[in-house]
Every structure is written in structure tokens, then in C-alpha cells.
Amino acid sequence: MQGGFFRIVHSVVLSIPRGRVMTYGGIARFIGRPGAARMVVYALRSTPPGVEIPWHRVVGAGGRIPKRSSFEDADEHLLQESMLRSEGTPFTAGGKVDLSLCLWEPDESVP
């Protein structure tokens, strides 16, 4: 079950266009697992080495870019923000991703 869930999450994330984002909870709802936002986080964090997926296009509720608690990932939120800005993703004056302008809603053609 977990492997299939991870593959579906990766497939959805791979389909997010440049300059657009989805939330962890939005992905969970889209794949029919409302309430599984933390599992979406885990699926992204468990991406095998060498597999390229645009993890930076997935943000927290309300457009938050979550700060990681571990020392090795302490500055990952800065990298994520930089990557999003380089793609033209709009931000609010408060530093959150402006979901009103760039939230992506996949259609049923996305696996």
C-alpha cells in the first residue's frame, strides 16, 4: 500500500507546472486520502536518490513554506523559496506563496 501511495504522490507532483503549487493536503485529497497530508510529506522526503521530482512545488496549508527541524535540513525552506521564486511563483507581502494566484488543481487526467 505504501509503495503505491508514494508512486501516486510522485506522479501528481511531477505533473505540477512551473510557477504553480499544490499543498500537501490538496494532494492527499486529490488522491482520495483526505487527512493524509503527513504521508504526502513522508512520500516526498522518501524519494529515492537520483529520482528528480519538483518537491519544491508542494507547500503547506495557506502557502506556508515549512521550516524543517533537523539540523541538516535547517535551510531547506530558503532553498524552496528560492526555487519557487526562480520559476516566477508569486508570494504575498507576508512571505507565503500566494495561493490565490498559483494554486494548481489537477484534472482527472493526472494519474
Task: Give the list of residues 6+ apart from residue 55 with CB closer than 8 angstroms, or none.
Answer: 13, 44, 47, 80
Show the domains of the chain with their CATH numbers: 2-102 (1.10.10.10)
Average pLDDT, the chain: 90
What is residue 1's predicted lDDT score, i.e. its pLDDT?
44
* End-to-end CA, the chain: 16
pLDDT exceeds cutoff 70 at 42: yes
Predicted structure pTM score: 0.89
What is residue 109's predicted lDDT score, i.e. its pLDDT?
72
pLDDT exceeds cutoff 90 at 75: no
